[in-house]
Amino acid sequence: MKPSTILLNLIDQDGAGQWPPLVVYDDWPSALQPYQDIYHEVVPQLSSSSPLLDDDTLMARRESFRSHMRELLKEQIDLLEVERLLNAAEAGNWMSLRREQLNGVYCAGQDDLKGSFAKAVGDGWATIPVVKVAQAETVIHFPVELDSAWASLQRHFGCVAESGNNTANVLYNFTPDGNRVFKINVGQSDEIVSSEEAFFRMFYDIEDLARIVYIDMVDAIVAFEENRKADSLRCLQQLKPKLDKIYQLFYDGVVDAKISRKVWLSYCQGFQGWGVGRVIDGRHVKYDGLSGSHALIFQAIDAFFGMERYLIDENMVRYIPVRQREFTSVLRRHSIRAQTEKGECEEIQAEISKLVQAMRVFRAAHRTRVILYLEQPAPERLIMTAGKSVLENHHTNGLEDALAPLKKMMTTRLQETV
Ligand code: HEM
């Protein structure tokens, strides 16, 4: 299929006709509404102003939170009706549940239901702040009202992980007028609340700027392949300022004044972690949580340059919705750089080199900035990052050593960006 067809398919199906995706939280079919209501009922119990450290108290809280949630789900969810609605959507029948509502259910399914049950509750990962006793849990048995709905949603979006991803948890968590629906730290200090807001909104704002970038990328490819080199060059020239704006959002946003280093690690990141899994055929399969590496735009940029993927195949299938994977694959297959020989189309090559250089600057800045956040002390937990789960074990020796693999990943990716 052509790059333009695949982009339109992504926007049409996963974006409900818009990008960033259209997500609607109103007028849900009554069988699905309790998923939202239950989240709003339990969310104030998720975050505590200081880490709870007594294991017995934590485990008791976990049990009480989970049994409360189990009861609410059992009382309020009509599973047969939920399955009927989700099956109809899966079969392409959007009469009772519209695409833009299903997008909201995907977010609710992860953030609201599984997220809070697994994590927030005062346990699983993402006790807020995360604590060691929470990180020790390796398997969680979810209530059927969560498991069954999530399985259907994952089939629709084409991801296999039990955990969520940047699309479900972040991109689909905004209404058309820009309100973030499922918040994590309800009732905490302004510093925590505003850091959480600024952090997640940045990913949404970046995807908002990315829409016209995707169009320019596709236009540049089409023009190049139709031998309209001057048009292709013009599209590439248009890309540079648009991409610079995206990087600028990161440079301006990941600063202490907007995303406080003091609170980010403890209050904003942990909820998006996962680190638990399931025993399948006698083997423990563990899923990770969210990472900036899930963001479509950065995958699209690498693919446009013809670079290999950052995420391994297994993680692509676990965390990246299939229609996003198809889009980046088609960009990679049609990469202009890969189609030009040395010494050929020099102006086009030079323009792409400028784009590559800007991405290198982003990666260098990202590596330097994020380490300052990851190095914050959090003695109540094992060293972890949401996207790669627990990093500390009996082979590691302190913070520096535990973070070394992350630094290596980021440095390698920077070096590959040429
Ligand atoms: C305090 C904030 C952040 C921290 C601590 C952080 C940390 C990390 C870490 C440790 C990795 C490597 C491990 C992995 O793949 O998950 C990573 C990868 C990545 N992050 Fe972040 N990140 C932060 C914010 C952001 C933001 C705001 C963006 C984009 C808007 C972003 C984009 C990426 C991308 C694209 C990658 C994949 C590696 C690459 O393509 O170079 N990160 N991040």
Cis previous bond, 241, omega within 30: no
Q: Is 315 in the pocket of ligand 1 (CB under 6 A)?
A: no
Any long-range contacts for 53-57 (C-beta under 8 Å, 24+ apart)? 53/131, 53/380, 55/133
Does the beta carbon of 385 lie inside 6 Å of ligand 1? yes
The pLDDT tens digits of the residues spanning 331-361 come to: 999 999 999 988 889 999 999 999 999 999 9
CA of 186 to the centre of ligand 1 (A): 25
Under DSSP, is residue 174 helix (H, G, I), strand (E, B) or coil? strand
pLDDT of residue 337: 95
Tell the residue nearest (CA) to atom 13 of ligand 1.
406
pTM tops 0.85, yes or no: yes
> Does residue 387 line the site of ligand 1, with CB under 6 A?
yes
pLDDT digits (tens, 9 = 90+) for 199-232: 999 999 999 999 999 999 999 999 999 999 999 9
DSSP 307: P
**Residue 121 reports pLDDT greater than 50:** no
Q: Is residue 373 lining ligand 1, measured as CB closer than 6 Å?
A: yes
pLDDT at 124 over 60: no
Which string of DSSP letters, residue by residue, matches 214-246?
Answer: HHHHHHHHHHHHTT-HHHHHHHHHHHHHHHHHH
Annotate 383-407 with DSSP letters as a single string: -EETTTEE---TT--HHHHHHHHHH
Average pLDDT, the chain: 92
Does the Cβ of 168 fall within 6 Å of ligand 1? no
pLDDT of residue 342: 80
CA of 152 to the centre of ligand 1 (A): 29
